[in-house]
Structure 1
């Protein structure tokens, strides 16, 4: 058995500020050694994401108690039987959707839609069906999206890992497993943005800002950024977004349509808000594509004018983990980062310790940061 610290959520709906109510408790927990097909990873850095926050506040119900965290990078410490394509000491990034490689979506080249992976994530298990985490009383803890990365160590499925270059800083490498895969992937994989197309990004959290970077790297022009927060708008402008629009402005849709000569070719909604998605839909031109990677509460619904959908040949698409093939796309995005065309490091708002994680989620909720990263010390 392996002892480690982990940030554990035992109840949802804690009052804010979380720095006072402390919904996440830092506990000493026990890890089983890796089963066949699993890997023990020493976590070095893990990003705070709205997908974690939505579990804490109850917007995305998950089985409790659960050890949170899903965007991370670390070092391989031990290998389960049958894992022969990694070595102890390898550096890896975690991916929050494990892919079995055999179900119909995986066989069709769409591992983001892996059916066993989705089932395991919903149950709080690893892809292998194993719950490797136990609290001090010996009770099993659920895994968050197959990772549970707010911890010093984690046991995960081999199918949740992508090997990365050992000289990539861990606090940057962590971002590739969620923010970059989701945001950049939505641009290049889901939307298929082409050079010269007009793109608008609505919602400038870590994923939305990654979408801005992805749109610029893909040669989109113009790229327009929309958000409530003036600091996020300024950050997007510093990336190279040619125009920014204040989301609450009563003429925000009209502003975007004017800036894009009648409407964007592609609108990306990254806020997880029905109102934001409605706005993104209205910001696209005839024949345009609206892509959403936002995850509002499960009962949220969108009303779409069917006549416009048909008569204007519009497209509305969902994007999960950026429609990515992680083993293919993470190395590609890292190469773009190294080439200076995808400055992922500019998403990093700061580094905190595990003991400061509740206050970190206060800052994320308040919209003060793009990505905070917990560094395991």
Structure 2
């Protein structure tokens, strides 16, 4: 039975409406039924039925909000705090693992330090051991939808194969199937910067800004990603946004990609740390150390910051001229640089852009901080259910999140 002239059925329309409500609850909640009706153009009575459906699937709950006037406070809809994903980010110095609930909230963050860079097998063993230790908490408190892994390297979009994660020493590695068998959940993998831009577009500095570019500076180099209208622009094989391999110095250092003078060979976290006499174990001290160094032009830290800002400006010029983003979000140590020196200082290093694309460009530090990649990795797990909530079957009444109606 057709619901309209486009051929969409009543079920199609309902799925679309459920997805609209679920997306708002996930990214904007808590939100009232009246706010949902206003945002979607759907009637209040239909909104009530959609919210009830989502609650029966364990995706949202309703509670009484704060009364704004005399009388009973209105009900507010919130993404269910017991529906969650496991998010993982392997790095050269540590593997980070978190429980992330719907709504992008990190409720538990575990860091497993490495004595050396892990092999894929060692990474899988570490993750399995951590999850085994968390199993009582996971089974008692959460319904897990899957595992998302943010990998610092090239990841094939269609099957999650890590084509190359140079700093980890991984090449042509397919671990998602083995991990799925080990943990009993679906596993998704993507480039870490793509995860980062998903998180910032949904919850952070890039929300509601249209076209944004994300640059993440981490111990494994510089990753990049592009989001348009909240969705990641992956390219033909999912590898777009590799701005870390932009040419910034024609006589620069050799890069593992085979070129010389790439952004990530000239702008590096380890050089910043060394310039202020810190090592990676003291990364939490980087921002105050850079802030002190920036005040004294004679310090090695100030000189290294100026050098890296100059090369970052070269890369940003190409990004602005080719993509015309509304906002560039800087994460990791790049976000630290931005916070220390300010937007104007980095913009001065850009220069040479075409007219119309630079004047109102915003440079923002990542709003999600150290948890950005984990929140983004969880989005990979949540996105299929947000796009089509009917993928989850109705839950038994005793298993649903308590709701006030």
Q: How high is the TM-score relative to the length of structure 1?
A: 0.32
Higher-strand-fraction structure: 1
* Structure (1 or 2) with the larger CA radius of gyration: 2
